[in-house]
Amino acid sequence: MAIYQATTSAPVNIACIKYWGKRDTTLILPTNSSLSVTLSQDHLRSTTTSQADPSFTETRLWLNGKEEDIKSGGRLERCLKELKKMRKERIEDKDHNAPKLSEWNIHVASYNNFPTAAGLASSASGFAALTSSIAALYDLNNFSPSSSAKPSAASPSELSLVARLGSGSACRSLFGGFVAWEAGSLPSGTDSLAVQVAPQEHWPTLHALICVVNDAKKGTSSTSGMQRTVETSALLQHRIKEVVPQRMDAIIKAIKEKDFDTFAKITTADSNQFHAVALDTAPPIFYMNDVSRSIISIIEELNRVSLLNTGHLVAAYTFDAGPNAVIYTEEKNVKQIIELVLRYFPQAESNPFPDPFQLFGGKQPAGTT
Ligand code: ADP
Ligand code: DP6
Ligand code: CO
Give residue 351's pLDDT band: very low, low, confident or very high (50, 70, 90).
very low
Residue 128 contacts residue 77 (beta carbons within 8 Å): no
Q: What residue's CA is closest to ligand 2, atom 7?
A: 167
In this prediction, residues 150-157 reach a mean pLDDT of: 85
Give residue 40's pLDDT band: very low, low, confident or very high (50, 70, 90).
confident
Nearest atom, ligand 2, residue 20 CA: 13
Find, among 240, 237, 259, the residue nearest to 248 by Cα.
240
* CB of 222 closer than 6 angstroms to any ligand 1 atom: yes
Residue 192 contacts residue 226 (beta carbons within 8 Å): no
ipTM: 0.98
- HSE of 121, CA atoms in CB hemisphere, 13 A: 32
Lowest mean pLDDT among 4-8, 38-42, 188-192: 38-42
| Ligand 2 pocket, Cβ-based, cut-off 6 angstroms | 15, 18-20, 28, 34, 121, 123, 167-169, 222-223, 320-321
Across the chain, what does the average pLDDT equal? Answer: 91
Find, among 14, 206, 223, the residue nearest to 124 by Cα.
14
In this prediction, residues 296-316 reach a mean pLDDT of: 97
34-38 and 13-17 beta bridge pairing: antiparallel
In this prediction, residues 98-122 reach a mean pLDDT of: 93
In this prediction, residues 234-259 reach a mean pLDDT of: 98
Helix (H, G, I), strand (E, B) or coil at 122: helix
The 10s digit of each residue's pLDDT in 58-82 is: 999 999 999 999 999 999 999 999 9
Distance CA 234, CA 225 (A): 15
Residue 11 contacts residue 125 (beta carbons within 8 Å): yes
Lowest mean pLDDT among 52-66, 117-131, 137-151, 262-276: 137-151
| CA 92 remoteness from chain centre | 32
In this prediction, residues 121-143 reach a mean pLDDT of: 93
The 10s digit of each residue's pLDDT in 177-217 is: 999 999 999 999 999 999 999 999 999 999 999 998 888 88
